[in-house]
Amino acid sequence: MESLIISQMAVSGALMGLVYALIAYGFQLTFSTSKSINFGQGELVMLSAFFSLTLLDWGVPYWLMVPGGLLFGVFLGLAVERAGVRLALEQKSEGWILLTIIIGLLGFSAAENIWGRDDRPFPTPISADALQFFGVNVTPLEISVAIGVFALMGLIELFKRKTLLGKAFEAVSADRDAAELMGISATRTVMLSYGLSGLVAAMAGILVSPITTVGPTMASALILKAFSVAVVAGLDSGFGVVVIGIFLGALESLTSFYLGSGWREAPGLILLILALAVRPNGVFGKATIRKV
Amino acid sequence: MVHLTYFFAVYGSLINFIGINVLLALSLYVTLSAGQLSLGNAAFAGIGGYTAGILTTQFGVPYLLSLLAGALMAAIVGFLLGMPVLRLRGVFLAMATLSFGEVVRIAAINLKITGGAEGLLGMPAYTKTWFIYLVIAVVGYFLSRLRYSRAGWSFESIREDETAASAMGINTIYYKTLAFTIGAFIAGLAGAMYAHLNYIITPGEFGFSAAVNLLIYCIVGGSRVWYGPVFGAALLTALPEILRGIGVTAGPIRMFVNGLILLIVILFLPNGLISLFQRRRKVAVSVLAGAGIGDN
């Protein structure tokens, strides 16, 4: 019986971990092209979820709402790039860290003023009735999270490898200056990466909100764990985030089972600090050699 | 004299908060001066505050001793944390220290001795306004001396280029940890003083938004000289009052005006508001700059 509870906790935790992995993947996208990330990514998740909920309130059918919400995410990602990241990167300063945080805070206060402070349920046609696999309960809703995460990450990876635009993306990630000499616009590629990371954030919002409800603070815990996943896996690790995300999600859910739910957030953060002590470039990261 | 008494009655607590925020901004300044972007200084303040608060309320330790204990506790934690995380650069350090801050907040919520989510109650109001500003003066003097010491020059060179600094024979790990620990000590001291200013401290006060505010004080004021963060912290802590004075009321608009000011300063004055005043002196400074003494 004990082992059944443990595997139940581990499985549902791991499915939640996939959402952390997806957000962390969004960090990777922008980091690879511009060596910057959006510290307000959690607010993008939250704003996209609220926007999608509003679409549903207006009577838009669920399957039409999804592309609408994703487009809104792309728009937000581009806005963050234009307002916060571009100028700061041109100045070669680290002001973008603060700028993206401030844009996130502005987004947070906008959400509080537009949609209020309450948590709201997010209706979905996907059933939440449990199915049993080897005695472990899994809901179709949780399976939809897994499918959504893998489908989106797979599509983006395919896009990077198979299309010309995607190859430009890879070229800028590999060597910005050389790519520019080949006629690729690095600025546009950075824009593209921010758009994609906005898309990823919106997807995370739509996938997770039927499980967690929608509210201004819905993403503040998510984002910290996505940070942990991104740093532990390494920001250039590709699918490494999935492995770490699943591991962290399962670990977290087991911690809350044994130590009480208040400590739920702790293992990820402690894992982060420990992992950094051993491998500063991430578990799946490559060591970089720095030229002077 | 009557006017002065009236002024203190109305703005006394604002003046105290400005003082505490100035100290916290100075603590981050030390870390930034060695090029290390930390978002953990609010958590160090929390560690200092809780340590001192618990010592005075539950063990009856005298005020000054509990301040010292709070600051030392924060410095020890800072030292231990610094060893693993200071191997990281830029964003990664920011993310790691951010997570550390969350660990501290979660611990404060869940532990019994810290009073949980309701916070720690019953600290006597020992911290006086004159004492806060005395401490600021001492810390400011110390930092202005530090800047031109061997450690100060090492911090500077690490900030400019860490790899080059270590190639020049500077022990970067030692000096980065030193800057981090000094920062944690000052933050712990400020937190300990803050705990004895209010009757209560709660975990939320030392969370993410507090950490971001400290960074904003330093960047807006200018993090290249020690009085930049002082200026930034004083201005931005008073800004809500100033905005109220000129008719911008609380709520969404004030938040927006605040955000706008920050965006403009960061984008167009990378060295902070203090660089506005320095530009005028540039002629005088440039002579020294040739000898490698100038700031910019």
The answer as to whether A85 is a domain residue is yes
Binary contact (A97, B91; C-beta < 8 A): yes
Which of residues B249 and A141 earns the better pLDDT score? A141
What domain range is A64 assigned to?
A: 16-218
Q: What digits encode the pLDDT tens for the residues A90-112? A: 776 667 888 888 888 888 888 88
- Taking the CA of residue A115 and the nearest CA in chain B, the distance in Å comes to 13
Rounded distance between C-alpha atoms, residue A43 and residue A197, angstroms: 13
Binary contact (A276, B263; C-beta < 8 A): no
Residue B279 pLDDT grade (very low, low, confident, very high; cuts 50, 70, 90) = low
Residue A208: which of A7, A5, A23 has the closest Cα?
A23
Find the residue in A nearest to B81 (Cα): A273
Query: How many CB atoms are closer than 10 A to CB A104?
Result: 24
ipTM over cut 0.90: no
**A216 and A108 in contact (C-beta within 8 Å)?**
yes
Q: What digits encode the pLDDT tens for the residues B192-244? A: 999 998 888 888 888 888 888 888 888 888 888 888 899 889 988 888 777 77
Q: CB-CB: which of B209, B219, B252 is closest to A98? A: B219
Per-residue pLDDT at A93: 66
Binary contact (A266, B98; C-beta < 8 A): no
Q: Is A292 on the interface with B (CB under 8 A)?
A: yes
Residue B60 predicted with pLDDT over 80: yes
Residue B283 predicted with pLDDT over 60: no
- Please give the DSSP secondary-structure letter assigned to residue A73: H
Per-residue pLDDT at A3: 77
The answer as to whether A290 is a domain residue is no
Q: What digits encode the pLDDT tens for the residues A191-248? A: 899 999 999 999 999 998 888 888 888 887 788 888 888 888 877 767 788 888 888 8
Phi/psi of residue B143, nearest 5 degrees:
-70, -35
Residue B296 predicted with pLDDT over 60: no
Token pair, residue A224, equals: 């910290």
HSE-up (13 A, CA, CB side) for residue B259 = 20
Rounded distance between C-alpha atoms, residue A29 and residue A19, angstroms: 16
- The structure tokens 């984002």 sit at A223
Q: Is B109 on the interface with A (CB under 8 A)?
A: yes
**Best residue of B266, B269, B296 to probe chain A, by most A CBs closer than 10 Å:** B266
Q: Report, as an integer, the average pLDDT of B148-160.
A: 89
Residue B58 pLDDT grade (very low, low, confident, very high; cuts 50, 70, 90) = confident
The answer as to whether A262 is a domain residue is no
* B161 contacts on A by Cβ (under 8 Å): 292
The answer as to whether A277 is a domain residue is no
Q: Is A261 on the interface with B (CB under 8 A)?
A: no
The answer as to whether A64 is a domain residue is yes
Below-50 pLDDT ranges, chain A: 292
Residue type, A151: A
Average pLDDT of the residues of chain B? 82
Token pair, residue B126, equals: 């020992």
Residues 57-116 of A with CB under 8 A from B: 83, 87-88, 91, 93-95, 97-99, 101-102, 105-106, 109-110, 113
Q: Is B236 on the interface with A (CB under 8 A)?
A: no
**Total number of domains constituting chain A:** 1
Token pair, residue A254, equals: 């087991």
Per-residue pLDDT at A210: 85
Residue B73 pLDDT grade (very low, low, confident, very high; cuts 50, 70, 90) = very high
DSSP output for chain B: -HHHHHHHHHHHHHHHHHHHHHHHHHHHHHHHHTT---S-HHHHHHHHHHHHHHHHHHH---HHHHHHHHHHHHHHHHHHHHHHHTTS-HHHHHHHHHHHHHHHHHHHHH-TTTTGGG-EE-------HHHHHHHHHHHHHHHHHHHTSHHHHHHHHHHH-HHHHHHTT--HHHHHHHHHHHHHHHHHHHHHHHHTTSSEE-GGGGSHHHHHHHHHHHHHH-SSSTHHHHHHHHHHHHHHHHHHHTT--TTHHHHHHHHHHHHHHHHH-TT-THHHHHHHTHHHHHHHHHTT----
Find the residue in A nearest to B208 (Cα): A220
Q: CB-CB: which of B96, B110, B215 is closest to A231? A: B96
* B80 contacts on A by Cβ (under 8 Å): none
Q: Which residues contact B243 (CB under 8 A, 6 or more apart)?
A: B254, B257, B258
The answer as to whether A285 is a domain residue is no
For A59, counting Cβ atoms within 10 Å of its Cβ (0-12 exposed, 13-18 middle, 19+ buried), the class is exposed
- Taking the CA of residue A84 and the nearest CA in chain B, the distance in Å comes to 8
Binary contact (A106, B208; C-beta < 8 A): no
Alpha-carbon dihedral of residues A166, A171, A173, A177, nearest 10 degrees?
-140
Q: Is B80 on the interface with A (CB under 8 A)?
A: no
Determine the angle formed by the axes of helices B172-195 and B2-33, rounding to 10 degrees: 160
